[in-house]
Structure 1
C-alpha cells in the first residue's frame, strides 16, 4: 500500500474504514514486531492495540516520507521503547518466552514436530542476540524492509544497518553451528 492509499481519506473515505484496512493489511506485522521486541504475547497485544489507536488519532499527519508499513513499525518501536522506559516495567521482570503457534497444519505429526523443533531452535538463537542485532535482523528478514527503510526507522546510517545485519547473521550461524545445526 502506498501513500495514495492514505490520500483517499481527504477524498471523503471514512477514517474507520481506512483504519480497518490498515489493521487487516499490517496488523500481523505490527504484532510480530512488537512480540519480537518484547518477547511477551500479552504485551505485544497491548502495544498493537496502542499502535492502531495512535494511527487513528494521527491518520491525517502521515506525510508519505516512508511507506505505510515503515510508519506503522516506527510507531510500534516507539511505543515499545516508551514501555521499556516506564517505571512499572523496570520493576517487573518478564518470565519465559511464549511461542506463537503456527496457523497452517503440516502434512504429518512427525513433520510438524520436526519443523517446530527447528523453528524453536532458530527463534531461541535469534532471541538470544543483543537487541540491536535482533531488531535489524527481524526488520530485514521477516518484514523485508530495505536498508534505507530500516535506517530511517532506527535513525541510523545505512552502513550501520548493513554492519549490524552482517554481524547478526554471522552470530546466528556460529550459534547454530556450535549446536550442530546448519540452515
Structure 2
C-alpha cells in the first residue's frame, strides 16, 4: 500500500488496484459470500467492488481507511444486489472452513474442529442478515465495533446490541443442537 502515501504525485492506479486486489480480494469475496450465499454472485460483486475502487480511488485519503472503505463498498454492492428487482434469494448451505486455515496437530482433532466450525458457520449463516453482518464483521473480518459501525452505517450502540443478540441467538441454536 505504499502508493497511497504518494497521492500528491502521479499515482500508478493500475498498480495500486492490483495491490488492493491482492491484499483484500479474498476477504471481499468472503464478505460478499456471507451476504449472497452464492460463490458466483460473490465473485461478480467482488469484481464490481474493485471496478468501483478503481474509479473512485481519488476518494481514498489515508491508508488506515482502506479496509473499511473497501468493505463499505462491498456491503453496499451486496445490498444493491438484493434491491435489484430480478434477483431471487437462494438459501444454500455454506462451508467457510475451506477458506479458513486449520492448524490442528492431529487428524482426529482437525476433524473434530472442522465439524464444530462447520456447525458454527451453518448457524451464523442461518441468522437474519442484520445479525449475521455484525458477527461476520466482528469475528470473521476482525473489525472493531467502531469499524463495524462505520462500515454498516449504524450507531455504535446498535452494533453492540445486534452483536449481543446475535451471540445469544447462536448460543441458543448451538446448545439446542448439542442436546
Q: Pick the TM interval, shorter chain.
A: 0.7 to 0.9
Aligned partners of 1:22 and 1:122: how far apart in 2?
30
- Give the match for residue 121 of structure 1: 119
1:173 aligns with 2:177: no
Structure 1 residues 66 and 158, CA gap change in structure 2 (3 angstroms): farther
Shift of 1:109: 4.3
Q: Which moved more, 1:37-46 or 1:104-113?
A: 104-113
Shift of 1:96: 2.4
Unaligned ranges ≥5, structure 1 = none
Structure 1 residues 156 and 30, CA gap change in structure 2 (3 angstroms): same
Alignment of 1:99-114 (within 5 A): 99-100=95-96, 101-102=98-99, 104=101, 108-114=106-112
- Give the match for residue 69 of structure 1: 67
Q: Is the 8 A contact 2:94 2:125 kept in 1?
A: no
Unaligned ranges ≥5, structure 2 = none
2:92 aligned to 96, 100, 105, which one?
96
Alignment of 1:44-59 (within 5 A): 44-59=42-57
Q: Deviations over 1:30-49 (max 9, x none)?
A: 11110111111111111111
Q: TM-score, normalized by length of structure 1?
A: 0.86
Shift of 1:158: 0.6
What is the RMSD computed on CA atoms of the aligned residues?
2.3
Alignment of 1:12-91 (within 5 A): 12-64=10-62, 67-89=65-87
Aligned partners of 1:111 and 1:26: how far apart in 2?
30
Q: Which moved more, 1:145-154 or 1:27-36?
A: 145-154
Shift of 1:95: 4.8
Shift of 1:85: 1.0
Secondary structure of the corresponding residue to residue 92 of structure 2: coil
Aligned length: 177
Secondary structure of the corresponding residue to residue 178 of structure 2: coil
Q: TM-score, normalized by length of structure 2?
A: 0.87
Q: Is the 8 A contact 1:41 1:98 kept in 2?
A: no
Structure 1 residues 23 and 83, CA gap change in structure 2 (3 angstroms): same
Aligned partners of 1:116 and 1:148: how far apart in 2?
31
